Structure 1
């Protein structure tokens, strides 16, 4: 039987959370579908992709737009190139991830009269798109066959202008590659781990200051990521005299090594869609401390049962909970077991099955 042809649209396949989800879904769905990934720019995938997945791109590189007119012109060209790829590959259903990609993907799919599923990955209550993109979102999103969101709160936002029957809540899948890389034989080191872009949203400055204030002799803090706050963080770490204890590490394809060898995971975001890094850390059995930000952490952690929830931007609470876990190996062990059990439902095979039900419903 001939496989149906589906295409994912995303800006790039770099090291972000949405990119991880797209890569994971492509790898799971390739057994049943002919899968193509269309990106805006030509970058090698950060995460492992099955060689049967076809990769196409719109441009080698994209320069930042200097004017509103440049922005409109660039996005019109992207829309045209996406449409051309979809037509040439005889794509029968489109799946888009992230706002800009969703908007352009809807326009291209509707031009070709093929069904389109879009996926919103962040918290729309917190993200300021600007007038143009917000207007385009309100115009295009109701035209999608299905909008996938990650939590009920985010679903509520879109109910005001998207038909409820076209909304679907699905959590992020845990990469099969990550699941297979779990190794309980690796010795745990006294490392507090954080994974995420160095941005205002991820608020790692809170963790840097809390960890520094505790000044625990045996423990280290490793923050894995990159982003606009890097220089600021480096300067603060230097000012605090914590260069030997706090390390800013670049994104790595061997993230499992860090999950396997760390002893605590600390998550300090001020808002999220549904946090990949927190799910992955729990999947690896890391006892976690997370801010009770909108949205995601409170749906993963039951405070005091399988981890700790703290108030956003509350350094005192973060210090207190870190100190508890530093000094209570039994609690770390209990949290570890319960955390791992509570996120097993997010394994890739389960979430991919849910996605396939949506795909089957919308395929012509």
Structure 2
């Protein structure tokens, strides 16, 4: 089966790029799919994550003319002649691809972000309301519209929606010993990720836990260049690393202070390493992934004091930390790449 992915980019260090590398590689190497990935303005650039050597890549240059997006995809589809087209473009333009490509291929849409990631939890502007209306219309043009969580599904009115969560990129043979005085968090330094909230929570309990520290792995966004209000003595900002698995394995607690998410890939990564998580109950993802009180804690969104309390509980109770870590490791197996990719294979074949 020939499968064409259409996405904005694969050279970044984000969750979409990571998921696509895992999923496409498995489909190509293990299930015999012939895959081409089409991205924008990335000719000659290397992907941040590793993709199978069996996968072909195509890049459209839209720097001189935005119309190249449409004509470039048109001719790429004509040349590759796919059986299935999967659109992973979260922008408005991606919603209307079925209207102007001429192909017998079945077309699906993969939504990797929540609407909160567009509005930034603010009241939608008039422009955003119009965009959401057009997206709701466009979502019905696809043979299937795929979202990641139950919360994501509630945001759309289409009847063609199906939930397929992200797959685990790894499930290590070893687990964290959970004896290192280290809390880890992974993600770009933005308002969305809520590291200012983590700082406020940590300030409440830092003095009670000498030797403990928080390491955050993520690039600093333009709106957080100064890092004002984020860095304190025992919170360290570090650059993203490709072998993040090793950093999880040398940590004891995962903290997700995000205001909103699309899924929360980092949660399942940490849990696969046997690490209990503390996360705000933000839209969308944490409540789908964490079983509160069993493999981690779900905290009322924005409740800084409660977040600090749950971190303290895991720091002080080693037996609970290890018990939750064991449950996390077991519960997260439902996101195993073999399980999730078989769902995609079943969907593609059914179409």
State if a TM-score over 0.5 links the two structures: yes
> Taking structure 1 as reference, are residues 41 and 189 closer, same or farther at Cα in structure 2, changes over 3 Å only?
farther
Q: Is the 8 A contact 1:58 1:81 kept in 2?
A: yes
Pick from 37, 45, 48 the counterpart of residue 47 of structure 2. Answer: 45
Unaligned runs of 5+ in 2: 120-126
Q: Is the 8 A contact 1:198 1:228 kept in 2?
A: no
Q: Is the 8 A contact 2:272 2:329 kept in 1?
A: yes
Residue 153 (structure 1) aligns with: 151
Residue 262 (structure 1) aligns with: 251
Q: Is the 8 A contact 2:2 2:84 kept in 1?
A: yes
Q: Spell out, residue by residue over 1:71-93, the C-alpha distance to the aligned partner (whole angstroms, 9 max, x if none).
A: xx51x321211111111112221
Q: CA RMSD in A?
A: 2.2
For the pair 1:79 / 2:70, whether they are aligned, the reply is yes
Unaligned runs of 5+ in 1: 64-72
Query: Offset of 1:53 from its aligned partner?
Result: 0.5
For the pair 1:281 / 2:270, whether they are aligned, the reply is yes
Query: Offset of 1:188 from its aligned partner?
Result: 4.7
For the pair 1:220 / 2:213, whether they are aligned, the reply is yes
- Aligned length in residues: 335
Residue 94 (structure 1) aligns with: 85
Q: Secondary structure at the match of 2:2?
A: strand
Query: Offset of 1:157 from its aligned partner?
Result: 2.3
Q: Is the 8 A contact 1:38 1:56 kept in 2?
A: yes
* Runs of 4+ residues deviating >6 angstroms: none
Q: Is the 8 A contact 2:176 2:250 kept in 1?
A: no
> Taking structure 1 as reference, are residues 343 and 86 closer, same or farther at Cα in structure 2, changes over 3 Å only?
same
Instruction: Output the CA distance in 1 between the equivalents of 2:202 and 2:335.
Output: 30
Could you tell me the TM-score, scaled by structure 2's length? Answer: 0.89
> Taking structure 1 as reference, are residues 352 and 157 closer, same or farther at Cα in structure 2, changes over 3 Å only?
same
Q: Secondary structure at the match of 2:86?
A: strand
For the pair 1:198 / 2:152, whether they are aligned, the reply is no
Q: Spell out, residue by residue over 1:222-242, the C-alpha distance to the aligned partner (whole angstroms, 9 max, x if none).
A: 111122344242x3245x4x1
Q: Is the 8 A contact 1:267 1:291 kept in 2?
A: yes
Q: Secondary structure at the match of 1:99?
A: coil
Query: Offset of 1:182 from its aligned partner?
Result: 4.8
Residue 98 (structure 2) aligns with: 106
Query: Offset of 1:36 from its aligned partner?
Result: 0.7
Residue 26 (structure 2) aligns with: 28
Q: Secondary structure at the match of 2:57?
A: strand
Q: Is the 8 A contact 2:178 2:253 kept in 1?
A: no
Q: Is the 8 A contact 1:79 1:107 kept in 2?
A: no
Instruction: Output the CA distance in 2 between the equivalents of 1:262 and 1:182.
Output: 16
Instruction: Output the CA distance in 1 between the equivalents of 2:5 and 2:87.
Output: 6
Q: Secondary structure at the match of 1:94?
A: strand
Residue 168 (structure 1) aligns with: 162
> Taking structure 1 as reference, are residues 229 and 112 closer, same or farther at Cα in structure 2, changes over 3 Å only?
same
Instruction: Output the CA distance in 2 between the equivalents of 1:185 and 1:308.
Output: 18
Q: Is the 8 A contact 1:9 1:105 kept in 2?
A: no
